[in-house]
Structure 1
Amino acid sequence: MPNSDRHTIGYIIERFGPAASVAVWLFASYVFRGWFVENIASGKIILGGLFSAVFGWAAIQTGFLFSVFGFVATKGDGFIGEIRGSPVMKRFQWYVLQAMYMGFILTIYSIPLMILNLDMKGSITYWVVSTWFASFIWAFTSFLRVALNFGKMVSVKDADFIPG
């Protein structure tokens, strides 16, 4: 990747978007802690449904990412074959692995939260749930990054060997 591309806004968002999204969430969860705890305690926000939804989504996301990884790792021809070994492909493969690992961690992290009856008034419990949601944000934005880049990669038409 040419050095000039490393400073474009698109590259910066792609590269640091997941981490920046997590930082924004953690700041918001600190600032609005009282509001979150009050709405969870009053039943306006129901965590059980959120835990289950994220668990299901994370499991599906992880399977999808594993298939993307398998496709990219085994395709040796066409555009993907041409960029194999390039810095761009290595970065894409790192994105896929990172998103896959985050999806797996999120799936495992969600299981105890789904079965435990959490009291959100405790500071430790609040931050356990808040960091769980931060991992969801990281996993989701990492997945989005992979999906958008994969879409660009597979949209490049392979060359026709026999014209016509």
Structure 2
Amino acid sequence: MAFAVLMAWAPTIARRFAAVDGWSASGLYGGVFSWASIQAGFLFAIYTFIVPKSEAFVRAVARTAAFNQFKRYMLRITWVTLLVALVAFALTVVNPKPTSGGYLTIFLAGWVSLSFYSFLGFIKVVRTFRKLDRNNSH
């Protein structure tokens, strides 16, 4: 959905980046790189915190399908976030200016969509982790 919206608004977004006092492409790339790097570290920390746990609650849920699904989802979001960060790093170095058409527009719309997916997945993992941690502390 984000991809479709970005593609529909591509000309307007490109004008904002092209304006002299408009948006900063390098600022966008650097900001996403910084956030994705922090997010990936946090996701990895959650994963390494949960998986080796030996408390009774975690042992009780460790073999359930729901917990295994959560671990797989967490790993997938971690890898997606790392991909977003690596692409952002490359974009920061190359610093392409967004245009209103062509392959670069499609690539950037896909990258921004993946960034949204990564962020929403991060929120989901954090919310689930909070529930697990809350249940584990009782």
TM-score by length of 1: 0.77
1:108 to 86, 94, 114: 86
The amino acid of 2:133's aligned partner reads V
CA distance in 2, matches of 1:147, 1:117: 32
1:68 to 46, 64, 85: 46
1:136 to 81, 99, 115: 115
What CA deviation, in whole Å up to 9, does each residue of 1:93-126 have, x standing for no partner?
A: 0121011101111111111210113233351111
CA distance in 2, matches of 1:95, 1:117: 31
The amino acid of 1:156's aligned partner reads N
- Partner of 2:95, secondary structure, is coil
CA RMSD of superposed structures (Å): 1.5
2:62 to 84, 104, 107: 84
Q: Return 5+ residue gaps in structure 2 as ranges.
A: none
Deviation at 1:157, TM superposition (A): 4.3
Identity %: 21
The amino acid of 2:48's aligned partner reads G
Structure of higher CA gyration radius: 1
CA distance in 2, matches of 1:79, 1:25: 38
CA distance in 2, matches of 1:114, 1:45: 15
Q: Return 5+ residue gaps in structure 1 as ranges.
A: 1-23, 160-164
Matched, 1:98 2:71: no
What CA deviation, in whole Å up to 9, does each residue of 1:33-83 have, x standing for no partner?
A: 111111111142212111111101111111111111111110022322210
Q: Is the 8 A contact 1:95 1:145 kept in 2?
A: no
- Give the 3 Å change call, closer, same or farther, for CA 93–142 of structure 1 in structure 2: same
With a CA cutoff of 8 Å and minimum separation of 6, indicate the structure with the bigger relative contact order: 2
Q: Is the 8 A contact 1:98 1:142 kept in 2?
A: no
Aligned to 1:16: none
Aligned to 1:12: none
**Number of residue equivalences:** 136
- Runs of 4+ off more than 2 Å: 119-122
CA distance in 2, matches of 1:134, 1:143: 14
1:14-163 → structure 2 map (5 Å cutoff): 24-42=1-19, 43-121=21-99, 122-158=101-137
- Partner of 1:156, secondary structure, is helix
